[in-house]
C-alpha cells in the first residue's frame, strides 16, 4: 500500500485501499481540479502506517470492502483556494484557515469512506464535503431520531469510525469522513507544513 520516501509516503491502491482524490478532479465543491495532472495521495509516514492498519482492520471485519481515500496531504496553496471559496459563508467552519494550518497540509489528515465489492461507496447519509450539520458526528443520534439518518447510515459511519479509531486515528467531529493521525497540538509546530 505504501511506497517509502523520507517523511512522506505515497498511498498506492491495494487489495484493501482505493484512491479517488476528489481535489484532483472536478468532483468537489470547488468544481475544478486543484492538484493538476499528477495528483497522488501522500501522507506522513506515521499517518500512512495507521492507514495501513485501518485497512487491515476493515478487511478483518468485512473482507469485501475497501477504504476509499478521498484526500490526503493537501498543500497549503490548495488549502488557500478552498478557504477563499468558503470564507465569510456558512461553510467556513468546514475548511481550516490556512494561516492556522490544516492538518491535511502536514500530511497527518485523511478524508475517506468505504466502498463495497462493486466499488460503490457505502451510504453515509451525506456525500463527502457536504458542508451541512448532517455531516457532523455528535448529533447523529438526534438525526436518527428525527429520521434524517437511517440505521444503515449510522452503521456505515460506525464501521468507518471503528476501523479508523482502532488504528489510532481521531475523528473530526464536524465531518464523518475526516480523520487525524495525531492531535493538532502534536502536529503543529513539530512537523513541517507543506506549502
**Residue 21: its pLDDT value, please?**
97
N-to-C CA span, the chain: 25
| 3-state secondary structure at position 87 | coil
Contacts of 101 (CB under 8 A, 6+ apart): 76, 188, 193
Residue 166 phi/psi, 5-degree rounding, is -65, -20
- Joined together, the cell numbers standing for residue 184 give 493538532
**What percent of the chain has a predicted confidence (pLDDT) above 90?**
84
139-155 pLDDT, tens per residue?
Answer: 999 999 999 999 999 99
pLDDT for 4: 46
Work out the average pLDDT over 163-172: 98
Query: Mean pLDDT of all residues in the chain?
Result: 94
- In the DSSP assignment, the letter for residue 103 is G
Long-range contact set of residues 165-169: C-beta below 8 Å, sequence gap at least 24: 166/53, 166/54, 166/57, 167/50, 167/51, 167/53, 167/54, 167/57, 168/50, 168/53, 169/50, 169/54, 169/110
**Where does the pLDDT of residue 5 fall: very low under 50, low under 70, confident under 90, or very high at 90 and above?**
low
pLDDT in tens, 66-90: 999 999 999 989 999 999 999 999 8
Mean pLDDT throughout 21-35?
Answer: 93
Instruction: Work out the pLDDT band at 2, boundaries 50, 70, 90.
Output: very low
pTM exceeding 0.85: yes
Domains, the chain, ranges and CATH? 2-187 (3.30.1380.10)
Percent of the chain whose predicted confidence (pLDDT) is above 70: 97
pLDDT tens across 110-140, in order?
999 999 999 999 999 999 999 999 999 999 9
Amino acid at each position: 500500500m505504501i511506497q517509502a520516501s523520507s517523511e512522506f509516503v505515497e498511498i498506492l491502491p491495494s487489495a484493501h485501499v482505493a484512491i479517488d482524490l476528489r481535489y484532483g478532479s472536478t468532483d468537489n465543491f470547488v468544481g475544478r481540479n486543484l492538484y493538476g495532472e499528477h495528483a497522488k495521495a501522500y501522507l506522513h509516514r506515521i499517518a500512512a502506517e495507521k492507514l495501513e492498519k485501518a485497512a487491515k482492520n476493515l478487511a478483518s471485519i468485512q473482507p469485501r470492502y475497501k477504504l476509499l481515500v478521498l484526500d490526503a496531504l493537501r498543500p497549503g496553496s490548495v488549502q488557500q483556494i478552498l478557504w477563499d471559496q468558503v470564507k465569510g459563508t456558512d461553510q467556513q467552519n468546514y475548511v481550516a484557515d490556512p494561516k492556522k494550518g490544516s492538518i491535511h497540509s502536514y500530511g497527518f489528515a485523511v478524508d475517506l469512506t468505504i466502498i463495497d465489492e462493486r466499488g460503490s461507496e457505502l451510504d453515509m447519509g451525506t456525500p463527502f464535503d457536504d458542508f451541512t450539520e448532517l455531516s457532523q458526528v455528535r448529533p447523529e443520534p438526534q438525526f436518527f431520531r428525527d429520521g434524517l439518518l437511517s440505521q444503515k447510515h449510522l452503521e456505515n459511519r460506525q464501521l468507518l469510525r471503528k476501523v479508523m479509531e482502532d488504528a489510532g486515528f481521531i475523528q473530526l467531529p464536524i465531518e464523518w469522513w475526516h480523520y487525524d493521525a495525531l492531535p493538532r497540538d502534536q502536529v503543529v509546530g513539530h512537523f513541517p507544513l507543506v506549502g
